[in-house]
Amino acid sequence: MKIKFTFTVLLFIVGLTVYAQERSIITLSENWKFTKGEVIGAENTDFNANDWETVAIPHDWAIYGPFDKEIDKQTVQIFQNNEKKASEKYGRTGALPHIGIGWYRTTFKVPEYKKGKQALLIFDGAMSNALVYVNGQKVGSRPYGYSYFYFDISNLIEEGKENFLAVRLENPAKASRWYPGAGIYRKVQVIVKEDVNFKQWGTFITTPFVSEKRAKVQIKTTVQGEDIHLETIIKDANGEVVGAQSSNERYNDELDVQIPVENPQLWSTENPYLYTAELKLYQNQQLKDVQEIRFGIRSIKYSAEKGFELNGKVTKFKGVCLHHDLGPLGAAVNKSALKRQLRILKDMGCNAIRSAHNMPSHEQLDLCDEMGFLFLAESFDEWAKPKVENGYNLHFKKWAEKDVVNLVRATRNHPCIVMWSSGNEVPDQHGSLGVKRAKYLQDIFHREDPTRPVTVGMDQVKAVMESGFGSIMDVPGLNYRVHLYEEAYEKFPQGFLLGSETASTVSSRGIYKFPVVMDKGVIYPDGQCSSYDLEYCNWSNVPDDDFVLQDDKDWVIGEFVWTGFDYLGEPTPYDKVWPSRSSYFGICDLAGLPKDRYYLYRSRWNTEDETLHILPHWNWEGREGETTPVFVYTNYKSAELFVNGISKGIKRKSKENNQTRYRLMWNEVKYEPGTLKVIAFDDNGNAVAEKEIKTAGAVHHLELSADRKIIKANGKDLCFVTVSIVDKEGNFCPTAINDLQIKVSGAGKFRAVCNGDASSLELFHMPKMKAFSGKLVVLVQSDTKAGEIKLQVNGKGLKTGRILIKSVL
């Protein structure tokens, strides 16, 4: 008999936190000095670092290259990939020079600081093994590169003087399975506040009751100081006050208030409505500290009867996994780059993100709050048993609880987060000791946040069924193993399953291989994978196999596809072949350009907009008369294909097999130059949409298209410009690989360039690169002054492409 499991959560969630004048925040972003390599005495205040490089934070020292096959070459048997013996792996961590020591130094003033106040030094992430010094004194360390952490530096701050900060980081070899980045890659801040204050990450807001008519808001906040009371008001998105309460009800160091909100706007993926709570802390009528907290009201529930519900509505996770790197920017966080990713995914119909396999940035969570994405926040890729020699296994015993506590307390108040993950494919899945570790971590998550469930991405499904590991999970997450879903559902007590990692289909944008067959682990001489979306890894499957489970099994509550975007490192199936230095798994490539598979997912997930996409391209000189299958990805159930005006018949989606259920396929088409045209029909047989692609002529000129024409003059905002090579009539040239040169002038600068080719060894920060499959993307960065930015792209034998971008204050 199956035991029915219900996990109910009603939340009033905190998002972005902004503080008033009672506390001051100094963001340490500019004028850092950096050098790579060990430097004796660099922590001392009198050390001379004038000849070091000047950098801005966030910073990734390794992304500038060069690529080298010998960097972090690992001889390893990858158990998760079903490998039988160890072998040399090239490019597993991106072939970028991230191994070694890096030093950072800066100075800062704290005008508001006086003895008796509190000063906190906060890091959002530093890769890795951080040692931190203030005014020559060591204040602490943190080994995990993805962890948020802070130190109380009140006793080290010197009033009215320049204070000195030094950070030593060290990345060992054999410490990661993907490109981890290097350096202080997320923001650093100093917060100064009164001695009576809200404790760091100490506020947690929930709603024990949510309905369309009323929400009960409960605010618990930890404080320090005596004779205090709390005043709280809640404002809607227009700034109107919708609730207020005062309290001096104190339990140890915690204050507790409850505020009703009438007719609340519920946060959802379709309507990510955010309120603001203003918390004021008084001591004897004197204002001591203020927090302004943006949040959303919503409820979540997990049950065997309905799966996952958001605000009482059954919702399936249409999610993707994302690594933390941003392609040509490396690991350095950039909010406009993150927002571009989310805009692309939103258009695809994606509604959920899994941070794989790391703690997410605060910038990413803020954006998911604003844009309406559900979020699975992950903690670790390793526990006590190693995957790599110098991985988190070295730190698990001492640091796991501390790292989980900081993850939860720092982020638990984001409305987007609906689930925690304590691990991914950990070798500890085997045996009773692994069950105990799973429960140990899950208990920490529950203690810190009793409102959300916990999952683990489990790939050893037989083992976790036998040991009980899978049975203790709040949400049993299966990585791949679609053939074991039914058995796991029967054996696990929860009554539902999550596809915590799915597909791992591989492809290279604009590359197609013949004959077209479904196969796994295929290797080609050019180091590319076919974009017919039928190639996958020996542990995984094609997307359609997961679609069937999502559509036919109510107890499968959704999926997180591996991956939304290509990422640096892990170049499967070419991890034993050089040159290959980034993944092929992405629905979009490393430059953020959609691959064909994007439209396959869009045809299912985006239920509002039309999808009609044809593949492959139609430039096949030398293949005249040869079989060249044509696929169409569309949300319509049938369509007719024409080659140079001749009908090749109507195809209808059917349940004959998994592919015909989700794709329209004309497998016997013979190539002839000219025009491919497809006409789609609605359910009544009426022609409602059409699309065509043409055989392009000789390359002629460049077309430039910007994701935004207006950006902010803050020195950090980015414009992503897609450069396409076209013929004289403007037809896209899909096989062009011309060398292109880039020039930026005016109120901005060239930041990076990427073509999406996983086997390219060209450097991202040089203003030149070959096009790949006819395209590349140029990143233009604003200055701090408003004005016009001019981008010019040239190529031999091509008419120059130009575009103007406005930078505004």
Residues serving a catalytic function are 425, 501
- Could you tell me which of 618, 619, 614 has the C-alpha nearest to residue 678? 614
Tokens describing residue 627: 């079989």
Q: Which helix (H) or strand (E) holds 448?
A: helix 431-448
**In 10 A of CB 745, how many CB atoms?**
12
User: How do 228-235 and 241-247 pair as beta strands?
Assistant: antiparallel
Tokens describing residue 355: 């941070």
Q: Could you say which DSSP state residue 165 is in? A: E
Q: Could you say which DSSP state residue 566 is in? A: -
Rounded distance between C-alpha atoms, residue 455 and residue 377, angstroms: 10
Amino acid in position 619: N
53 sits in the region (left: phi over 0; alpha: psi -120 to 50; else beta) called beta
Q: Which helix (H) or strand (E) holds 27?
A: strand 23-27
Contact 269, 310 (CB under 8 A): yes
- Could you tell me which of 694, 696, 698, 693 has the C-alpha nearest to residue 798? 698
Q: Which helix (H) or strand (E) holds 292?
A: strand 286-303
- Could you tell me which of 648, 697, 698 has the C-alpha nearest to residue 676? 648
Residues 6+ apart with CB under 8 A from 378: 354, 355, 356, 357, 358, 359, 360, 420, 421, 423, 424, 457
Rounded to whole angstroms, the maximal C-alpha distance in the chain is 88
> Using alpha carbons only, what angle is made at residue 178 by residues 177 and 183, rounded to the nearest 5 degrees?
115
Rounded distance between C-alpha atoms, residue 509 and residue 754, angstroms: 13
Contact 53, 126 (CB under 8 A): no
Q: Which residues is 165 bridged to in the sheet?
A: 106, 134
**In 10 A of CB 471, how many CB atoms?**
16
Contact 307, 314 (CB under 8 A): yes
